[in-house]
Structure 1
């Protein structure tokens, strides 16, 4: 699906945010960057509470500035605090100034509470039904976008399956694992249980896992660090990336809890490459819970928490194209 979704007003814009983040924001500031004719990055930070306005604004703006092609921005405040006035007014003012200084002037500031939405700084309140009933929300839902749906549910995946044994990590193991992974990425059907367990076992070995991560991307220079940071030699095959994420979920079905962290980390990393930081963090958090302190997941979460954007997502020519947005 490559159609273009036209946003005709604030309600449409507000309707897209939960779809972009994968969750309805609460007590948050959201910045949407904008490029010529389209939205760019979507960034969310917890509401500032006691944070000093200028520091908060500079931090959020520094994250938004990772979208080097942005020429404008939108600011949305989600809160139920101080409903009699204009919540976080000083923080909003500082953020507007910082974004303007960063050459991303704010087109609009919106306020969303649990009871209404409004243009920030105005007294006219609009019903939330305008958002849920908007054309944008209807279109996104129709084409399969869901909010607050987490595909990883350990209880539903079950605990009956036996653990797999990781390979020794020899060169032959790496070659065999990469060949098997490439084959299922290029296939249309999901692997049978035996093949899936063999690939899932390969993901359990750190070195083999790293090669499988790299094998997912065909436009790389061979450097694993570059691959992990999204520094590719060209536009990756995003259909292959989507396929890899689907397969990662299938692989989790054939191993028990405690062996799913590598696949969850792969899913989180792929979401980050797409520019979906919030979804990425959700998977990485699950990975760190499945195997406490799972190192790669922890490192990627730290990267995301600093507002880092994958190199591939910075360039409109190489970035993942959101469906109809």
Structure 2
């Protein structure tokens, strides 16, 4: 496991972000908080488009300020909304954000612009090749140590087209206990379940109450109400390897059921991505869940919760936050 990575320049910093987020952002603002020479939390939000600069800046600052230890930050703007007439896109939003972050006592040290063709220190006319990022020491080190800048267990091409629906079990105390045992066994067993076991697990997830129980069982450290759990309020650091495995297993369950029965697993994957700090992937999975079962209630509620809370509490504390596996 790589415990410390020294970033020696902007190319290293920009190479680090895709490894943190699981892919290179597009049309996004990324804020990296910092304190005492070390990076803290990472926040990605959609580019503001038509949003008012002040309102956008206040929203982003309120989210970044959840890292109470931060004393500074870096801002990276990923966009292709540039041409010869607009070399400095979102200038008003960046200025407003700089003012708000400074007021929050976490001033912006540097702003960088990354496009499809180049990167630059924002506000300059330089055009640095993207190869400087991919060839950087940080990218080489993290890749060598086993990190991938794009990791996604969801691949729709692998989902079955002609599979029979699973029978939804009747909810009983025995059903709940058996479902818990089966799910914990799957999360404690290396590899992925065989088709018959996967279909049995997928059937458990079709029962709303049992689905919620199984989601709770995914996290081994927790306290408080179910709402606290959904918001990522835990009493310690989750077993993130178990969470990674749960995502992989959830995708295997999706392979053995048809459309219309995949929403529970997509919702689980969306929630786990949010706990890890990836709002982009979370929104993607929750949207897919609401498409698989129109307006799937838990997916809709979680989407609203994420919009309200911004960042899961577990992701704002460096002692409990997810770190991408490097082995």
Tell me, yes or no, whether TM beats 0.5: yes
> Which residue of structure 1 aligns with residue 209 of structure 2?
207
Separation in 2 of the partners of 1:258 and 1:219?
31
Shift of 1:157: 1.5
Partner residue of 2:148? 145
Residues of 2 paired with 1:95 and 1:131: CA distance?
25
- Give the stretch that moved more between structures: 245-254 or 20-29: 20-29
Alignment: residue pair count: 323
Q: Distance in 1 between matches of 2:84 and 2:70?
A: 32
**Which residue does 1:14 correspond to in 2?**
14
Residue aligning to 1:242: 244
CA distance in structure 2 between the partners assigned to 1:52 and 1:157 by the alignment? 41
Determine if contact 1:251/1:263 at 8 Å carries over to the other structure.
Answer: yes
Kept in 1: contact 2:205–2:214 (CA 8 A): yes
SS across alignment from 1:230: coil
The residue that corresponds to 2:280 in the other structure is 278
> Which of 286, 302, 305 is matched with 2:304 structurally?
302
Match of 2:102 among 94, 100, 103: 100
Residues 167-182 of structure 1 correspond to what in structure 2 (within 5 A)?
167-182=169-184
Q: Deviations over 1:195-235 (max 9, x none)?
A: 22111100000001001011111222362222111111222
Residue 170 of structure 1: how far off its partner (Å): 1.0
5+ residue gaps in structure 2?
none
- Name which of 220, 223, 227 aligns with 2:222: 220
Aligned twin of 1:127: 129
Instruction: Give 5+ residue unaligned stretches, structure 1.
Output: none
Q: Any conservation in 2 of the 1:21–1:279 contact (CA below 8 Å)?
A: no
CA contact (8 A) 1:69 1:314 kept: no
Give the superposition deviation at 1:177: 0.3
When the two structures are superposed, what TM-score results if normalisation uses the length of structure 1?
A: 0.91
Contact conserved, 2:24 with 2:149, CA < 8 A, in 1? no
Tell whether 2:61 aligns with 1:70: no
Residue 266 of structure 1, CA deviation: 0.9
Q: Does 1:91 align with 2:110?
A: no
- The change in CA–CA distance for 1:156 and 1:188 in structure 2 (over 3 A counts) is closer
Q: Answer whether contact 1:74 1:106 (CA < 8 A) is retained.
A: yes
Is the 2:254–2:265 contact (alpha carbons within 8 Å) kept by the matching residues of 1?
A: yes
Match of 2:47 in 1: 47
Q: Normalising by structure 2, what TM-score?
A: 0.90
Going from structure 1 to structure 2, the CA distance change for 1:56 and 1:266 (only over 3 Å counts) comes to same
**Offset at residue 37 of structure 1 (A):** 4.6
Provide closer, same or farther for how the CA distance between residues 95 and 118 of structure 1 changes in structure 2, counting only shifts above 3 A: same
Does 2:273 match 1:263?
A: no
- Aligned to 2:56, the other structure's residue is in SS state helix
CA distance in 2, matches of 1:117, 1:154: 32
User: What RMSD over aligned residues (CA atoms) do the two structures have, in Å?
Assistant: 2.1
- CA drift of 1:244 comes to 1.4
| Conserved 8 A contact 1:66-1:308 | no
- C-alpha distance in 1, partners of 2:34/2:324? 14
User: Contact conserved, 2:166 with 2:202, CA < 8 A, in 1?
Assistant: yes
**Aligned-partner Cα distance in 2 for 1:97–1:4:** 31
Q: After TM superposition, give the deviation of residue 45 of structure 1 in Å.
A: 2.8
